[in-house]
Chains A and B, each alone.
Chain A
Amino acid sequence: MIAEEEVVMDGAHFTPFAALIGGLLIGTASVVLLWFNGRIAGISGIVGGLVRPRTGEVGWRVAFLLGLMLAPWLYGVFHPLPEIQVQASTGLLIVAGLLVGFGTRYGSGCTSGHGVCGLSRFSLRSLVATLCFMLVGAVTVFMVRHVLGGVA
C-alpha cells in the first residue's frame, strides 16, 4: 500500500541521462544566442516579436525558428525521433494553444525565457513566473487526470 500523499516516481519512464544531456544542449543554445547575438533565448518572445515585426528584428528570429524546425530532421538522420504521444483532442489543443500564446506574451515569457534564461540570471520576475506556471500546470493536470478523470 502506498500512502496517498506520497509522490510515486515513474521509474519506467524516468530518463535521467537523456534529460540531462538535453538540458545541457538547451543551455548551450541559450549561451550561443546570448554571446553572439546578445539576445535571450525565450521562444515565446522570439515568436511573438514576429507578430508585429519591427525593422531589423525579423531575420534572426526567423533563423532561430528555422533552426528549431530543422532539428527533428537533422536528429532523424542519425536516430529515430522519440515517441510523440499527444493525448489532447483538437479542441483542447486549440484552447491550450490560445492560453499559451496569450499567457506567455502577457507574462513576458515561457519555460525557456523565464525558466531557463531568467532563472540563470537570478531574475525575481522569472522566479515568480516559473513558480506560477509550474504550479498551475500541475494543478491543471491534477484536475484533468484525478478530479475530472481524464474526460478531456
Chain B
Amino acid sequence: MKNLFAGLAGLIFGLGLIVGQMVNPAKVLGFLDVAGMWDPSLALVMGGALAVASVGFYLLRGCAQSLLGLSIQLPSKIAVDRPLVIGSLLFGAGWGLAGICPGPAIVLAGAGVSSGLIFVTAMLAGMATYDWLLRA
C-alpha cells in the first residue's frame, strides 16, 4: 500500500513538472536569466506548489503517524551549517549550467531523452562520490 501511494505521488509530481514545463531546460534557464529576457514561470510553479504544500504541512502538525500508520519523518537538523551552504552553492552552479535539477532529470530519463540519461548518470556518480567521501 505504501508503495502504491509513493508511486501515485511520483506520478502526480512528474505530471506537475511536465505541465509546468519545468522539464524543459531552456524554460528553467529563462527563469534564471534575470539579466536577459526573464521568464518568471518557474516562480509561479513554486508559488502553486507552496500554496498546496504549506496547507498540507499545517494540517499535519502535531501528528506522529501518517494516514497509513507510518511514522512521519521530518528533517531534524535546525542549524544553518557549512555543508548546507556549500552543497547548495554547488547545486546552484550545476543547475545554472544545464537548467536541470533532480526531479526533471528523472522525468527526462524516464522519457528516454538522451541528455536526461547522461545527466542522471552523472548525478548518480556525484551522489555516490558524496557517500564515498563524506557520509559516515
Contact = CB atoms under 8 A, between A and B. Distances in A.
Contacts of A36: 2, 5-6, 9, 66-68, 70
Given A31-B52, A116-B49, 11 more contacts: A47-B124, A82-B23, A82-B24, A93-B122, A97-B94, A97-B119, A105-B135, A124-B78, A132-B85, A133-B88, A136-B91
Interface in A31-49: 31-41, 43-44, 47-48
A51 B77 CA distance: 22
A84 B97 CA distance: 16
Given A51-B131, A97-B98, A110-B102, A25 B10 contact: no
Interface size class, chain A: 35 or more
Contact of A99 (B32, B36, B46, B90): B90
B9 A19 contact: no
Interface of A: 7-10, 13-16, 18-41, 43-44, 47-48, 51-52, 59-75, 81-88, 90, 92-108, 110-112, 114-121, 123-125, 128-130, 132-142, 144-146, 152
Nearest to B44: A19
A151 B133 CA distance: 32
A76 to B, nearest CB: 8
Nearest to B47: A23
Interface of B: 2-27, 29-30, 32-57, 60, 65-68, 70-75, 77-80, 83-103, 105-111, 113, 115, 118-131, 134-135
Q: Is the interface of B mostly helix, strand, loop or mixed?
A: helix
Nearest to B90: A103
A51 B49 contact: no
Given A106-B83, A142-B33, A65 B10 contact: yes
Given A81-B18, A110-B91, A132-B85, A20 B47 contact: yes
Contacts of A111: 95, 101-103
Contacts of B10: 29, 63-68, 70-71
